[in-house]
Homo-oligomer: A and B are copies of this chain.
Amino acid sequence: MVVEKKVNQVVDSVEGDPPQRWGFELPLLLFTGFRSLIDQLHEELADHGYPDLRPAHGFAMQAIGPDGVTASELGRRLGISKQAAGKTVDRLAAMGYAQRVADPRDARRKLVRLTPRGLDALTLSAAVFQELRGQWAERLGNGRLTELEDALESVVGPAGFRLDAAGWFGD
């Protein structure tokens, strides 16, 4: 990559107008948008009886899915060790969002399944996201919103979304 050139470009334009927009604005805008949606989601969730859910829990429950998974598989999906996944399940179970059930077809396995409460939280989340998208559509106009979504998809690809976001940021 020709970054050296860019260094001078950036340094030079400190005294002047940005070419169009600074490059660093893009990730910040994306992150701020994401964060605002997630924060609003959890406000709604709290108001509707799920005050203890955190963003990471949503990813975990999404990774469990409607059919359930083993703790090992959950670890793979979340990008953490199976032991850490087991502890995550413990926490979700203690909060009443998940449970372990023995797998009759494989005595080693214990399937992690969402409880009805867990499924409800997921259903509500989907509805809140739909509502929030509606608010964006109101503000931007449906066309601009769709273009935004399409543009993003064409850059990042429709590639299956990664759920291993928990420790990714970490120090």
Q: Which residues of A contact B (CB under 8 A)?
A: 1-4, 6-7, 9-11, 19-38, 41, 44, 48, 54-57, 88, 91, 123-134, 136, 139-140, 142, 144-149, 151-156, 159, 161-162, 165-166, 168-171
Q: Are B3's CB and A44's CB within 8 A?
A: yes
Complex A-B: 30 CB contacts under 8 Å: A1-B131, A3-B48, A3-B131, A6-B130, A6-B131, A10-B130, A22-B130, A23-B132, A23-B133, A26-B132, A26-B149, A27-B34, A28-B161, A29-B153, A30-B34, A30-B37, A30-B152, A32-B152, A33-B152, A35-B165, A54-B170, A54-B171, A136-B155, A139-B155, A140-B154, A144-B147, A145-B151, A148-B151, A166-B169, A166-B171
CB distance from A156 to the nearest CB of B (A): 4
* Contacts beyond the supplied A28-B161, A147-B151: 13 A-B pairs with Cβ under 8 Å: A1-B44, A1-B128, A3-B48, A4-B127, A10-B123, A21-B149, A22-B126, A23-B130, A32-B152, A56-B169, A88-B171, A140-B151, A140-B154
